[in-house]
Chain A
Amino acid sequence: MGRISGLVPSRFLTLLAHLVIVITLFWSRESNIQACLPLKFTPEEYEKQDNQLVAALCLTLGLFAVELAGFLSGVSMFNSTQSLLSIAAHCSASVALSFFIFERWECTTYWYIFAFCSAFPAVTETALFIAVFGLKKKPF
């Protein structure tokens, strides 16, 4: 228990770090969108890319809701495997997204970060939800 209790706050803090960066990205996404457009672009092209990135960011927020719900309801709070997985994924997401903002990566790279660092832990979280509520397994 003593070893697990360190995982709980660190998981929460990495989750929040990722969340903070994602919300910051909502404000400062212009330069990333310009990075994946040609030098001369029409407003329609910009609009299209912008909508894609906003959709990806909103999906990320939804997956955060899933993961925070699982964490706070106790489904996966003391599950050390899920905690370690989530810490690794969100920590790398925070680092990758800070590069994404500072280095103005192309907006399509966001989908890779999204798939590996946001969707993957959310899928395992959903599997835990099914295991706990559907199959009546013990949460830890």
Chain B
Amino acid sequence: MAPRDKRLSSTPLEILFFLNGWYYATYFLLELLIFLYKGLLLPYPTANLVLDVVMLLLYLGIEVIRLFFGTKGNLCQRKMPLGISVALTFPSAMMASYYLLLQTYVLRLEAIMNSILLFFCGSELLLEMLTLATFSSMDRI
């Protein structure tokens, strides 16, 4: 553990987690409405629709856990929760790229919103790596 008086938590990372949480909430609501729109207007096979909606719920779970552990790990200066958050970044980015490229119908709106999510994932991964490095380098001293 790092000494108590040293603050090693990364402020940019915390800002990113905070904004990502709000952005994800908006994204989730919007995506549900988009599925409603696509289900009503386009010839959407039921199996595909169910698959996409279930994947979206799974994505919600992954993202909530990732952001929760990320914030806790960053603020409490613990490596383990931050490591879990780093590990969960990859499935989260996979899900974003699924909705960007592989789902049945990709709207332009979805393409842009998923690219923003991928951008969030990338910058958070970078900052998490840097913060993890800071935490572990302070442990040895």
Within the complex, the shortest CB–CB distance from A62 to chain B, in Å, comes to 18
**Of the 9-residue stretches A9-17, A34-42, A53-61, A116-124, which lies at the interface with chain B?**
A9-17
**Of the 9-residue stretches A19-27, A44-52, A105-113, which lies at the interface with chain B?**
A19-27
Q: Is the CB of A12 within 8 A of B112?
A: no
Nearest A residue (CB) for B116: A16
Interface of B is mostly: helix
Q: Which of A9, A13, A23 contacts B112 (CB 8 A)?
A: A23
Within the complex, the shortest CB–CB distance from A15 to chain B, in Å, comes to 10
Within the complex, the shortest CB–CB distance from A102 to chain B, in Å, comes to 13
Instruction: Please tell me if B54 contacts chain A, counting CB pairs below 8 Å.
Output: no
Instruction: Known A-B contacts: A13-B23, A13-B26, A72-B12. Give 17 more (CB < 8 A).
Output: A8-B18, A9-B18, A9-B22, A12-B22, A12-B23, A13-B22, A16-B116, A20-B109, A20-B112, A20-B113, A20-B116, A23-B112, A24-B108, A24-B109, A24-B112, A27-B108, A28-B108
A131, B116: Cα distance in complex, Å: 31
- Could you write out 20 A-B pairs with CB less than 8 Å apart? A8-B18, A9-B18, A9-B19, A9-B22, A12-B19, A12-B22, A12-B23, A13-B23, A13-B26, A16-B23, A16-B116, A20-B112, A20-B116, A23-B112, A24-B108, A24-B109, A24-B112, A27-B108, A28-B108, A72-B15
Binding site for A on B (CB under 8 A): 12, 15, 18-19, 22-23, 26, 108-109, 112-113, 116
Within the complex, the shortest CB–CB distance from A107 to chain B, in Å, comes to 19
